Structure 1
Amino acid sequence: MKSNVVLFVVLPVLGIVLGWIIRWFYARFQLSASEQKAERIKQDAVKEAEAQKKEILLEAKDQLIRERNQQERENRERRAEVQKYEARVSKKEELIDKRSAEFDRKEKDYESKLSAIKRREEMILQQEETYRQELERISGLTAQEAKDLIIKNLESEAKHDAQVLLNKIEQDAQISAEKKAQEILVSTIQRIATETTSDITVATVSLPSDEMKGRIIGREGRNIRALETLTGVDIIIDDTPEAVVISCFDPVRKEIAKQALEYLVQDGRIHPARIEEIVQKVTRDVQQKIYEEGEKALFELGIHNMNQSGVRALGRLFFRTSYGQNVLTHSKEVAEIASLLASEVGANRELAKRAALLHDIGKGAENDSDQNHAEVGAEMARKMGEDARVINAIAAHHNDVEATTLEAVIVQIADAISAARPGARRETVDNYVKRLENLEEVAEKFNGVDKAFAIQAGRELRILVNNEKISDGDVKELAKNIAKQIETDLRYPGRIKLTMIRETRIVEYAR
């Protein structure tokens, strides 16, 4: 019984002790395994850390190498730039040295030249003093006496000019005193000259109403002034109902002004810019009309193979008159007479007709010349490639040269027949037109004058001045010189008013 109790007590204790021992061994085993595992983990971590350390070191070395290479490249580039800059600086220093040496050389040359000039000035002053003393000795006058003599001469010239002015004033006074007699005389002349000059020098433009006159004049007269300046005519606006009178000795300018004014009246837009546009358009139309009239004359006479410049020259004769006779009509008439005469005497009919048509072609020349119209016409025909016989007939039709062919003699006869018929010519009108042309030519010969227009029957000369060549201060002196030249070269009744026009025109386009 006691043994059973002991066993009952001891066995559980032994079981517990054995369980504890087993548990302790298991725990030791687990601890040992954990320590081994920890050691392995530690070793793996050390190995991984060393590997990462090596990798980081390698990357750091690579990065260091790359940065070192980049730095070396940048250093090389900077050294290259520095070398280039040093080379440029060196070149500039060399150039500056050269320029400095050149400047020093030029400065020395300048100083030597300056000293030479000073010596020459001193020599000239000495020579001047010698010459002055010699002149005083020869002339027997001192410098002050010579000045007094020059002043005296200037006073004499001024007195002469003043006397001329007084004479003109006296002449104006006489004209005013005889006003009544002149009115009677002018009235008589107008009755006689209406038939001979009105159709040649005056044109009338009809207006829809008298209100249009104010629009033609424009604010402060700018419209009528622009039209007169662009066309070179005189526009007369008076009490004549619904009409404006255009006066000009040049029929082409008169026709351009007439058509331009008719266009403006019909259009209704009248201002300087529109006036300039219309005048340019009408000028082109008149040039076309000139060519068409030349072709028409050739077609009517059956003449072919004419140079274009010859056709235009013939067309310009449509607007020209000679002694009151239309030059183109006269030329066609002479051609028909010459053709009939040539057929009667057995001469070359076509050659005579061609030479007769072209005999006054010099009057259609665009440029003025000191030669007469026969010489100008012969030169034009030569440039047009006309036959030598035609050229001789043109040059000889006023006996300026000897006629070498029968056709040339026939042209002379036909010209005389056409001009000699009753009422064919009026010499007074031609002389009047020639005087106005001479008046314009005198002004246009001066340097700086673009164009000159004689208006008011030659009592006024309107002169367009080139603003680039002549300044405002020089315009007055130019006007005096032109007036003196007119007084010297021309003969005219009364006096002539000179109006100088100088303007600056700038054109720009906004695109």
Structure 2
Amino acid sequence: MIILAVVAGIVAGGLVTSTLLRKAIEKKSEHLLKDAEEKAEMVKKDKILQAKEKFLQMKTDYENTYQEKNKEILKNENRLKQKEATLSQKFEELQRKQKEVTTIKDNLTSQLELLNKKQADLDKAVKQQVEQLEAISGMSAEEAKAQMIEALKDEAKSEAMVHIKDIVEEAKLTANTEAKKIVIETIQRTAAEHAIENSVSVFNIESEEIKGRIIGREGRNIRTLEALTGIEIVIDDSPDAIILSGFDPVRREIARLSLHKLVTDGRIHPARIEEVVAKTRKQIEQEIVETGKRTAIDLGIHGLHPELIRMIGKMKYRSSYGQNLLQHSKEVANLCATMAAELGLSPKKAKRAGLLHDIGKVPDNEPELPHAILGMKLAERYKEPADICNAIGAHHDEVEMESLIAPIVQVCDAISGARPGARREVVEAYIQRLNHLEELALSYPGVVKTYAIQAGRELRVIVGADKVSDDEANKISYDLSKKIQDEMTYPGQIKITVIRETRAISFAK
């Protein structure tokens, strides 16, 4: 019973407790709900206030923008009104000027009609006078005009013939003398030394022991040096000397300088030889450029292309029939300048053409073209003036001469290189070549005399007028030029001139 009473008490207590808890919870929930409603109301009021403020701000901004736009529109309207007023004023001015032009045009038209009427009256009066003159003279106006023209032509021809005859006679008397005077003065004022170039160089050594070091073990040093320089190195019984043989002076100079450096340094082996030869080749290239620049400066020639300057420097290591090409070109340049000054032409242009006239002999690739044509093309490529290019191309008559500088360059080239002694050719060979030229010409039928002149650059053939006709003389000249080309070796070119003349001689007794 006691247990039941305890259980009943516990149950009753639990019920009371749960009732009390439920009431507390319900009361707290009501309180929280009320607080939430109050907060929501406050948030709502804040948002409404913010929205109203934002709306007011946007309204204010819009009104400001609207006012600015209105101001701008008013400003544009005022500007347009001003332009319209200006255009109206200009249009009125244009209409006024157009009226003035119309008035002037009407006045000019009336004046032109008056002039045409006066011209017609004048033509009518002239025609009447011409008719009267024709009636008096008995010939028409055209006939009188033709007769007067013929009379004036005959008179002008006779006077012109007299003047031409006088000029020709004076030219015949003075031309030869003046030409010889100019050439002689040019040669005398330009003195130059001539040195014959060889195809070998001699390298002197202090002792015979160095020869063995240059040859190397089983000849490896000398083979390496020959392969790198392209020069034949001759080591024989010549005391204290080594011969460097080759036709390219640049290669010979590279080989000579390389040998000098190797012998001075003392280290001679293939690797060292390769290093020294490479450095020497670079040094020679620099010297070539410096030589070209120094030559141009010494001659007072400016504005040359760098590649042309390099080619001028390379002339130092080139020779033409034993004559150093740079010395020959410098001499031709000075001769051209002197002769141009004597003739009243530009010495600077003549000197420039003289220096560059043999530039076609030094290019690296050496195509199958005559050196004059190749030089002209190189000058054109590097923007030289047209008269300079023509003088280069025409100095061996490869192209037609188009300027006065061209014959000067041709003559000065002949002065420098064609006389005996300037180029490698012993006197016996020189005389033998001249005799051979004359004998070839004498072998043709009808030839009376032959003369090889201008150091063998020209062959004059005199034929009998009674044995050879004009056509046969032309044929002899052509056949002889072909025969000389096929049978002889000579520098430059040879001019063949066949002379045929008829003389009628009588005696008055």
Shorter-chain TM band:
0.3 to 0.5
What is the TM-score of this pair, normalised by structure 1? Answer: 0.45
